[in-house]
């Protein structure tokens, strides 16, 4: 506890390009707003939001090298799409270079790209903030998901995963197992909720 957010921002700025930095601030503030809405830890949400993409601008070959050097497992899908590693590598760098020891924050950084089944509140907040922050503009259901994020977080997570999978299928990109598992988990959660209603 007691993170120096200003100091972290100054450092991060040296390691990411300008648009990534602006995106990162957007995620930090969006995560803060969602933490207020859902009574999550405001400081953890900001630190995780600020650092979630801290490994994004490392060249892909260096990402693979850093993983190998530090015993971070690399799946076949990650080998093919090394950009996916910026999430787990980001958690590693947050711990080693930004002195973040809080496992909840590190976990939220590590799963921010694929999501995962049964995410914690903080994990869901970072996953969604990354998708809806104000600088984002591409995804088609953004207005809906931005609204849902503050109304029904699980439904927002489900809708984001559904749209991401549809997009990846259209692009014929290979799916990380974690993305598929996350989608199946949240689809079932929403289906069961609807049955009960």
61-120 positions binding ligand DGI, by CB under 6 A: 81, 84, 112-114
* 123 forms part of the interface with Fe ion (CB under 5 A): no
Contact code string over 154-173 relative to ligand DGI, x by CB under 6 A? ----------x---x----x
Distance CA 44, CA 151 (A): 21
For residue 6, the minimal CB distance to Fe ion (Å) is 20
For ligand DGI, the closer of residues 40 and 161 by Cβ is: 161
Distance CA 72, CA 108 (A): 17
Of 128, 176, 183, 186, the one binding ligand DGI by CB under 6 A: 176
* 53 forms part of the interface with ligand DGI (CB under 6 A): yes
For residue 138, the minimal CB distance to ligand DGI (Å) is 9
* 175 forms part of the interface with ligand DGI (CB under 6 A): yes
**How many C-beta atoms surround the C-beta of residue 141 within 10 A?**
14
Residue ranges that bind Fe ion, judged by CB under 5 A:
53, 130
């Amino acid at each position: 506890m007691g993170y120096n957010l200003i100091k972290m921002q100054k450092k991060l700025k040296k390691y990411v390009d300008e648009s990534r930095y602006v995106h990162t601030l957007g995620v930090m503030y969006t995560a803060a707003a969602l933490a207020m809405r859902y009574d999550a830890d405001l400081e953890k949400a900001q630190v995780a939001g600020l650092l979630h993409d801290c490994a994004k601008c490392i060249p892909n070959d260096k990402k693979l090298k850093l993983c190998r050097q530090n015993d971070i497992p690399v799946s076949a899908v990650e080998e093919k799409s090394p950009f996916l590693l910026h999430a787990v590598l980001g958690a590693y760098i947050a711990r080693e270079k930004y002195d973040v020891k809080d496992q909840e924050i590190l976990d939220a950084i590590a799963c921010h790209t694929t999501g995962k089944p049964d995410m914690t509140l903080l994990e869901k907040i970072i996953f969604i903030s990354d998708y809806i922050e104000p600088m984002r503009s591409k995804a088609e259901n953004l207005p809906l998901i931005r609204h849902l994020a503050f109304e029904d977080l699980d439904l927002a997570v489900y809708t984001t995963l559904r749209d991401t999978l549809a997009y990846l299928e259209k692009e014929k990109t290979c799916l990380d197992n974690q993305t598929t598992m996350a989608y199946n988990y949240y689809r079932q959660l929403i289906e069961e909720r609807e049955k009960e209603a």
